[in-house]
Amino acid sequence: MTRHFLRDDDLSPAEQARVLDLAAAMKQAPYDAKPLAGPRTVAMIFDKPTLRTQSSFAAGIAELGGNPMLVDGALAGIGVRESVADVARILDRQASAIVWRTYAQARLEEMAEHAAVPVVNALTDDFHPCQLLADLLTIREHRGELAGLTVAFLGDGACNMGNSWLLAGATAGLHVRVSSPEGYEPDAAVVATAAAIAAGTGGSAVLERDPQAAAAGADVVVTDTWISMGKEEEAAARAEVFGPYAVTESLLALADPAAIVLHCLPAYRGKEIEAAVLDGPRSVVWDEAENRRHVQKAILAWLLEEPS
C-alpha cells in the first residue's frame, strides 16, 4: 500500500520516532543513504513562495542520490488546465514521489488519492508537517528527549503551524499550549484529535488565552509570522490583534531558564518576535532551518523503503 505524508497524525508515535531517528542518522552521515540512487526523480510542485522548502528538498533529494524535478504549479495549471487527478497520474509515471506546497489540504488529499507514489505535504493552509518534524528534531538536539516537555505556541492558532503543533506535539508526548487571540483558535476537530492522541502518549493539548500563562515555565517557546501567505491584506488589523502575543525578552523571562525559541521563518523582527530574542542565545532557528533537509530526507526514505 502506498503511504503518504499529508498531515502530522499520518505518523503513529512509533513511526514519528523512527523518522526522527533516521533524520538524526542522516544528519550525522549526510551522504551515506542513497535510496534514490539511479537517479530516481522526485517531483516538487510549488504553488506558494518558497525558500527553505525548495532549497532543502532539492539539496536533500540530491544527497539521497535522486533527481529533484521542479514543477511550477501556475505554469502547469493544476486544477485549471489539468485536473488534480490527471496531474497525479502523469507525475507518478515520471517520479518516485511527489512533493507539493499548495493552498487547500483537499487538493493535496485528492492528489494522494490518485497517485501511485508517495505524496508529501510541503505545506498547505491547514498543516505544515515537514516543518514540525524539523522542529521536533531541533528540540531533541537541544533538550534531549521530547516526551514531557512543555511547548508554548504563541500567535495565530488557526494557521497551519498551530494545527500541526497540536498534532505532532501530542504524538511526541509533549505538553502543547496554544495561545492565540479570540477568533484565531485552532480548528476544534484538530484540538480534539490532538487530545485523543495525547491521552495515549502522556502529553496534552490545551488552549491558553493568556500568553504569559502559556509561556510560564515552558521549555520551548514558538511563534510564527502573523501574516501568513494569502493574509497580506489583513496585515494592519492582525498587527494590532496579535500585539500582546509577541515573543519579547520580558515574556521569555517567564519561561524555563533553559528554554529555547523556535520560529519557522520568515521572521519579522519587532512584530511577532523581538530581534533580541530571534538573534539571541536561546534562539535555535538556524538549526531548525537546516533540519528541514534532514527530516525531509528521512520522510522520503521512510515512505519509499519501509511502509508495506
Indicate if 264 belongs to the active site.
yes
The C-alpha cell that represents 38 in the structure block: 539511479
Residue 136 is assigned to a ligand binding site = no
Question: Of residues 40, 131, 140, 263, which has the active-site annotation?
Answer: 131
Distances (CA, A) of 218 to 148, 184, 250, 257: 11, 21, 14, 9
Question: Of residues 7, 40, 140, 292, which has the active-site annotation?
Answer: 292
Question: Of residues 4, 101, 282, 293, which has the active-site annotation?
Answer: 101
Look at residues 26, 36, 29, 60 and name the one whose alpha carbon lies nearest to residue 305. Answer: 36
Question: Of residues 224, 238, 282, 296, which has the active-site annotation?
Answer: 224
Indicate if 292 belongs to the active site.
yes
Residue 67 is assigned to a ligand binding site = no
Residue 128 is assigned to a ligand binding site = yes
Question: Of residues 125, 264, 294, 296, which has the active-site annotation?
Answer: 264
Question: Of residues 4, 7, 40, 128, which has the active-site annotation?
Answer: 128
Which H/E stretch holds residue 206?
A: strand 204-207
Indicate if 52 belongs to the active site.
no
Indicate if 159 belongs to the active site.
no
Residue 132 is assigned to a ligand binding site = no
Residue 129 is assigned to a ligand binding site = yes
DSSP single-letter state for residue 243: G
C-beta separation of 260 from 103 below 8 A: no
Residue 224 is assigned to a ligand binding site = yes
Residue 292 is assigned to a ligand binding site = yes
Distances (CA, A) of 226 to 33, 122, 175, 238, 247: 38, 20, 23, 7, 12
CB within 8 Å of 166: residues ≥ 6 apart: 176, 178, 186, 190, 191, 193, 194, 205
Indicate if 293 belongs to the active site.
no
Residue 39 is assigned to a ligand binding site = no
Residue 161 is assigned to a ligand binding site = no
Q: Which amino acids are annotated catalytic?
A: 101, 128, 131, 224, 264, 292
Please enumerate, by residue number, every residue annotated as part of a binding site for carbamoyl phosphate: 101, 128-131, 264-265, 292
Please enumerate, by residue number, every residue annotated as part of a binding site: 101, 128-131, 160, 224, 228-229, 264-265, 292
